[in-house]
Amino acid sequence: MLTETVTTNYSGMGGSRQVDERVSPTGVRTEEFLATTSPVTPSQISVVFEPTNATFRLRIQQPAGGVVADSVFDDPLFRTAFGGTRAPQAGTPDLPNFSYLQRGPTPSIPDEVVTFFYENPGTRTRFVTLAGFVRNTAVVPATVTAGTAATQGLYTRERSAFVFGTPTPASRVPTTGSGTFNGGLLATAIYNTEIDSAPSIRSRTEWISGTATVAVNFAQNSINIALSGTFTATNDAFEGSTGGLAAYNSSNAGRSFSATGVASFGSDRPGFAGNISSLAVGGRTVPVAVGILNGSLYGSRAEEIGGNFRIVGGGADQRVDIIGGFTGAR
């Protein structure tokens, strides 16, 4: 990947989430939530790489999840890294072997910054890779004075986690034998179990990174997936801002994450679909209300695998929503 001599459009597969926090002129706060994942056939996310100018174009069309983006990263200065004065924006995870592209602000939306990051191909896989998207926008409430109209504050956090690469042609998908694929995991997560005891608590957006093991039996058309990772320490975009958005749920940084699922190939090979059946956070079993799983084989001869998932927790008075991608190589 990314070594082509011609412009290449990589198909993507993943999901998105938007969380809006509204602050009324009187200080009342409300939280609105949208989330979605793409179907087996990837059509909502794409990454175009133009090698002559080393230009990326990221397109995400998931309005059901609150994320619609079409960003071109064509300036060498858009490449950034952690550790200096210029760095990826708040809400972006600092991960080894990842490249970061960031553009903004723009004249029309002064506070909008868009960040696209991906695992460097060759780190764990060559034909499919993990990627993420971060966009934060804010309208800070104006100071209310006598005789003036008060401004409602609006703080929006958009997150996407996905994989992109070159799917295996249907004619190259094996129908016999088996194999185990080992690779990586990247997920954007909300794990807020404190709402019942603190109704005004806001939901913190965090990231999970880790590993994936996928066992495929091509002869029996069965796929078993095991995901394992850790919540990474990530600053929330607006925590402690001038809008007074300090009441977030406790950080989950350092907590363990694990999930398992099963899937099978359909008529549209190399694609497959299935379900996530179990979830545990910090060693605690979490009921699963919805566990969606989609994926594909990648590479000219099914050398690699990749996919996306969404897990919605089934516990009462809790907001548990994890959207992620996984990869693996034989």
- Count of residues for the chain? 330
pTM confidence score = 0.93
* pLDDT band of 234, cuts 50, 70, 90: confident
Query: Which domains, ranges and CATH numbers included, belong to the chain?
Result: 8-329 (2.40.160.90)
pLDDT tens column, 278-325: 999 999 999 999 999 999 999 999 999 999 999 999 999 999 999 999
**Mean per-residue pLDDT, 247-267:** 93
Q: Is the pLDDT of residue 148 over 80?
A: no
pLDDT tens column, 114-128: 999 999 999 999 999
What does 96-155 look like in DSSP terms, one character per residue? TTEEEEEE---SSSTT-EEEEEEEPTTSS-SSEEEEEEEEEEEEPPPPP-TTSPPPPEEE
* pLDDT band of 168, cuts 50, 70, 90: very high
* pLDDT band of 243, cuts 50, 70, 90: low
Q: Average pLDDT, whole number, for the chain? A: 90
